[in-house]
Amino acid sequence: MARRDLDVAILSIEGTNCDEELRVALADLGARPEIVSLKQFEGRGVGRDERRELADYGALFVPGGFSAGDYVRAGAILAARVRASLGEQLEAFVRSGRVVAGICNGFQVVVELGLLPGRPGGRLGPPEAALLTNDSGHFECRPTFVAWQGGRFPALKGTPSGTRFLFPSAHAEGKLVLSGNPEEHLARLDAAGQVLFRWVAPDGGPPVYPWNPNGSLDNVAGLTNPEGNVFGLMPHPERSYFRAQSPDWTRTGGAEGYGDGHRFLDAVLSYAETAG
């Protein structure tokens, strides 16, 4: 894989648990990913040589897991800590056009920060959405499919609307709800091209449970901010990065190669190299 001129921070605190999977995928794509503890950004309880500055990275990924045990509400504690210690730096990072990506628990965190659906200029603020308990009432861990909605997300520019991706899901709180009148709010986001993915059935058609694993409004599985450089999605592209991670791998001869997560993350990094 070609070497990329891109340093990527993967944010971690106690409870994040998908950071290493993401690091392996991004490194395989030629980037320079580093798992960075929030304390390293804060400069608290670490040596001088362990401190990190957010501005030194070309992209920030907030990975999946159960940050701070998901107490209070999924992603809320990590979001509060980031807001308190990195708020101004993060706003400047977003305004610069650099990529901020939230995957599963990371999506919950970015929503709690108010970066999604987002305000013009990348301002943090009170949440305008939330990811609530799945309609099933339990943790959903299964292969799922999403379809690209052809919106504002520049990383997938040129990709036909409706293109389907297999990304596994693993969450208990993934039901997207929006503030105010949810249907009107969603209509505005749709019109602005901010719906990144919707859940679909394996044939690409409308999903019923379990293909929409959480009951989110109008099957929304991911969002972007108005500028398109901040995005979040509930399923895990890093868990379908290698072909060997696919659920049908042994039934199709155990071929080597890559899965749908590869083409998505490759597109994200290609965009991130030119952003900011």
Q: What is residue 24's predicted lDDT score, i.e. its pLDDT?
A: 98
141 is catalytic: no
CA 162 – CA 152 distance, rounded (Å): 14
> Residues 34-53: pLDDT tens digits?
999 999 999 888 888 999 99
Q: Residue 185 catalytic? A: no
- The CATH superfamily holding the domain 7-274 is Class I glutamine amidotransferase (GATase) domain (3.40.50.880)
Which of the following is catalytic: 18, 171, 236, 262?
Answer: 236
Indicate the range of 182-191, 225-234, 239-248 predicted with least confidence: 239-248
Q: Are the beta carbons of 146 and 174 closer than 8 angstroms?
A: no
Domain boundaries defined on the chain: 7-274
Identify the pLDDT of residue 1.
Answer: 58
Task: Give yes or no: 138 in active site.
Answer: no
Q: What residues contact residue 213 under an 8 Å CB cut-off, 6+ apart? A: 134, 136, 140, 142, 144, 169, 171, 174, 199
- The pLDDT confidence band at residue 119, using thresholds 50, 70 and 90, is confident
Vertex 91 angle, CA 266 and 85, to 5°: 105
Predicted TM-score of the model (pTM):
0.95
Active-site option among 21, 112, 173, 238: 238
pLDDT at 249 over 90: no
Could you tell me which residue, 66 or 2, shows the higher pLDDT? 66
10-14, 114-118, 120-124, 157-161: which range is least confident on average? 120-124
Residue 159 confidence (pLDDT) = 95
Per-residue pLDDT at 2: 66
Which residue out of 21, 104, 140, 173 is catalytically annotated? Answer: 104
Which pLDDT belongs to residue 84? 95
